[in-house]
Amino acid sequence: MEIELIEQYFASLSIPHFVAIGLLLFALILFLSSNAKQRKEQKLLLKAPKLLLKDFQVAPLGKDAFFKIRNEGEAATISQLDIIGRADLMVKNDYAGHQIDRDKEYRIFLESAGHQKIEKDFSIEITFAGPNGHIYKQIVPLSSTETSQLTIIRKS
């Protein structure tokens, strides 16, 4: 009896009704899949390494400087450092492939190749890999102690 009622209901619907129902179902599927993707990415970010700027010091003459990065999350392997805002700064120590374990610090030394003194007017973009194989990117502005939001570049 109930099946007959359902069949009668669908038989009474016109083509525009079916199109509207199809579009609603399609929109619902898109919403659910994007929501699931956001939840998965949030989970990955919670488990990700968390690099924080601990210290930034400039040498008395202003030609050299160093900063400390502290990892408060899972182990991270640094793959790339880019200096944003200053083309005359160079990284003095080898950083590629260096692993920063949980609750450890790593010093990175900078040197000015130009005549301008080093100030806190630039940022450092750090690309690193987590233990799960995901690759992350984070911008560390030296003008403040806050780091930017971590972004996932590639998931393994």
Q: Which pLDDT band holds residue 27 (cuts at 50, 70, 90)?
A: very high
Does pLDDT of 149 surpass 80?
no
Half-sphere exposure (Cβ direction) of 22: Cα atoms closer than 13 Å: 7
The average pLDDT across 31-39 equals: 84
Does pLDDT of 115 surpass 80?
yes
Poorest-confidence range of 31-40, 79-88, 137-146?
137-146
Average pLDDT of the chain is 84
Residue 146: the pLDDT is 65
Name the more confident of 47 and 29.
29
Residue 29: the pLDDT is 92
Q: What is the pLDDT of residues 40-67, one digit of tens each?
A: 777 777 777 888 888 888 888 888 998 8
Name the more confident of 149 and 24.
24
Q: Which pLDDT band holds residue 156 (cuts at 50, 70, 90)?
A: low
Instruction: Tell me which architecture the domain covering 49-154 has in CATH.
Output: Sandwich (2.60)
Residue 25: the pLDDT is 93
Q: Which pLDDT band holds residue 3 (cuts at 50, 70, 90)?
A: confident
List of E strands, the chain: 51-58, 64-71, 76-84, 89-91, 99-100, 104-112, 123-129, 135-141, 151-154
The domains of the chain are located at 2-46, 49-154
Strand partners, 112: 89
Q: What is the pLDDT of residues 65-79, one digit of tens each?
A: 988 888 888 888 888
CA distance 112 to 132: 36
The average pLDDT across 83-93 equals: 86
| DSSP classification of residue 142 | T
- Residue in the structure block whose two tokens are 């911008």: 139
